[in-house]
Amino acid sequence: MLEVHALHAYYGDFRALHGVDFRVEAGETVAVIGANGAGKSTLLRSLTGLLPAPFSSVFFEGQPVGGLPPHVIVRLGIAMVPEGRCLFPSLSVEENLLIGAQCGRRGPWDLAAVYRLFPALEEKRATPSTLLSGGQQQMVAIGRALMSNPKLLLCDELSLGLAPLVVREIYAALPRIKGEGAAVVTVEQDTGQAMRIADRLYCMQEGRVALEGVPRTLTPERVSQAYFGI
């Protein structure tokens, strides 16, 4: 459903991605791991349009989406849970969720469905989003992305800054999200977490894909070599 061919990405003169090939099949969970600065977040930014990609390097459902602005790409069905959550501080929890529905895509996800997925949010619906705990804020960020009824959900560093118990609780929602039909790409620094949940794994290193494969067929040695480059 998503195909990326030889993607280069630049920040000014600095080249952050050197010809990345990447694909996601319908219903798949793909994990992207790698050290800091390996290009994981740059890859996601290119997919969402925040960093304009060359026209013919990103195809979504057979259609080139490179260079389209973010608000158009989300309408095609690619939603993002940004790194650091990026909730809107002036908006309440429920308003944050409703903003996610702004693009007008129909599907299984609405307020009621998100509250069923994360019951803790319902009693906090009128609370300013900044007053929630980190884990609950992450739930809002996921719910907000789901409200656009995406075919492909991109998650950037879901576990960042959260206690292991909370991370487990958040990842527990993943099967239900996939159950509604969305494919998921999750970028993780936590390699163990990524190996547990992924159908397929990419390991990035210095702007390139260093390793691709099905987690259970990969030995820890190969992964750590691709991760660290030693």
Partner 1 sequence: MDDWINTLGQGLLLGGMYALFATGLSLSFGIMRLINVAHGDFIVLAAFAAIALVEPLAIGPFATLPLVVLLMAGFGYLLQRLFLNRTLGEDPLRPLLVTFGVSIVIQNALLEIFSADMRGLDAGPIETASIPLGGSVAVGVFPLLVAATAVGVIGALQWLFYRTALGRAFRATADDHRTAQLMGIDNRRVYALAMALATAVVAVAGVYLAIRSGIGPSDGPQRLLCAFEAVAIGGLGSLWGTLAGGMILGVAQAVGLWLDPGWGAVSGHLAFLLVVVLRPNGLFPKTRDK
Residue closer to partner 1 (CB basis): 66 or 203: 66
Q: How many CB atoms lie within 10 A of CB 15?
A: 14
Euclidean distance between the first and final Cα of the chain, in Å? 33
Of 19-27, 94-102, 166-174, 205-213: span binding partner 1 (CB under 8 A)? 94-102
Q: What is the 3-state secondary structure (H, E, C) of 164-223?
A: HHHHHHHHCCHHHHHHCCCEEEEEECCHHHHHHHCCEEEEEECCEEEEEECHHHCCHHHH
**Residue (of 195, 185, 110) closest to 152 by Cα position:** 185
Q: Does 151 bind partner 1 (CB under 8 A)?
A: no
Among 1, 35, 98, 160, binds partner 1 (CB under 8 A): 98
Q: How far is the CB of 48 from partner 1 (least distance, A)?
A: 6
Residue among 27, 64, 67, 70 that touches partner 1 (CB under 8 A): 70
In this structure, the number of other CB atoms found within 10 A of the CB of residue 167 comes to 19
Name which of 75 and 125 has its Cβ closer to partner 1: 75
Identified binder of partner 1 from the candidate list 86, 166, 173, 211, rule CB under 8 A: 86
Which residue in 2, 16, 103, 155 binds partner 1 (CB under 8 A)?
A: 103
Q: Which of the residues 43 through 62 are near partner 1 (CB under 8 A)?
A: 48-50
- Looking at the Cβ atoms of 94 and 188, the one nearer to partner 1 is 94
CB of 150 to partner 1, least distance (A): 11
Among 116, 159, 110, which residue's Cα sits nearest to residue 138?
Answer: 159
d(CA 172, CA 168): 6
Where along the sequence are the contacts to partner 1 (CB under 8 A)?
A: 48-50, 69-71, 74-75, 79-80, 82, 86, 88-91, 95, 98-100, 102-104, 144, 148
